[in-house]
Chains A and B, each alone.
Chain A
Amino acid sequence: AQSVSQHNHHVILSEAASLELGCNYSYGGTVNLFWYVQYPGQHLQLLLKYFSGDPLVKGIKGFEAEFIKSKFSFNLRKPSVQWSDTAEYFCAVISYGNNRLAFGKGNQVVVIP
């Protein structure tokens, strides 16, 4: 069964600091990869996704993620965070033929003004 690992569940940083959230998955076949964000009191929103092509994908609000196939990783980055980036971030993976999106346990990110 596919699984998704996210480390450092709680991240606290100051505005303008850089953010990197790790995501590793276990499935060896063809996968599609996603990062979702959940702002306080709001529903899950798609931040960015990777299907194929350029392994560096750019999403909304200045976020980007890099797919490294050899490391089974899809890490999320933002060079300079803002207070409004305070949210929970979820990495998700779906493998072709599985039909089920598997989520990591999430990263709770708090940005201090």
Chain B
Amino acid sequence: DGGITQSPKYLFRKEGQNVTLSCEQNLNHDAMYWYRQDPGQGLRLIYYSQIVNDFQKGDIAEGYSVSREKKESFPLTVTSAQKNPTAFYLCASSIPNGNYGYTFGSGTRLTVV
């Protein structure tokens, strides 16, 4: 079955450490996205990539970094510069431009202690 795989489901890290969240898709989608979900704030866009080797900042990119070396993969690194990293992170993919909606992964809940 085609879909998006995010791993791990739960992740714990100590403050000050960088951590990388995995996102893999086998839908042959060109575009991929990272969102952060916090209670009462909906989903906010962190980074997105319309094509391999290219990506753009979203609305809350500070303290995060991404790479897009392969079409199937779009890992997100939460750096120590992110002031409030504890959150639920969602990865999504779509056909180019995303006009027909996104497919979402099941998310990674990151807790920084």
- Roughly how many angstroms separate A90 CA and B44 CA in the complex, as a whole number? 12
Contact with A along B43-54 (1 / 0, CB 8 A): 111001010000
Question: Are B40 and A9 in touch, CB under 8 angstroms?
Answer: yes
Using a Cβ–Cβ cut-off of 8 Å, how many residues does chain A contribute to the interface with B? 25
- Roughly how many angstroms separate A19 CA and B102 CA in the complex, as a whole number? 25
Question: Are B42 and A103 in touch, CB under 8 angstroms?
Answer: yes
Q: Report if A34 contacts B (CB, 8 A).
A: yes
Contacts of A71 in B (CB 8 A): none
Q: Which of B48, B100, B101, B104 contacts A100 (CB 8 A)?
A: B48
How many A-B residue pairs have C-beta atoms within 8 angstroms? Tell me.
Answer: 55
Q: Is the interface on chain B under 10, 10 to 19, 20 to 34, or 35 or more residues?
A: 20 to 34
- Roughly how many angstroms separate A103 CA and B101 CA in the complex, as a whole number? 12
Q: Report if A16 contacts B (CB, 8 A).
A: no
- Roughly how many angstroms separate A9 CA and B42 CA in the complex, as a whole number? 10
- Roughly how many angstroms separate A6 CA and B35 CA in the complex, as a whole number? 18
Binds B, one of A43-51, A60-68, A75-83: A43-51
Question: Are A32 and B100 in touch, CB under 8 angstroms?
Answer: yes
Q: A99-B98, A105-B40 are in contact. Are A43 and B105 (CB under 8 A)?
A: yes
Q: Report if A8 contacts B (CB, 8 A).
A: no
List the interface of chain A (C-beta within 8 A of B): 4, 6, 9, 32, 34, 36, 42-46, 49, 51, 90, 92, 94, 96, 99-106
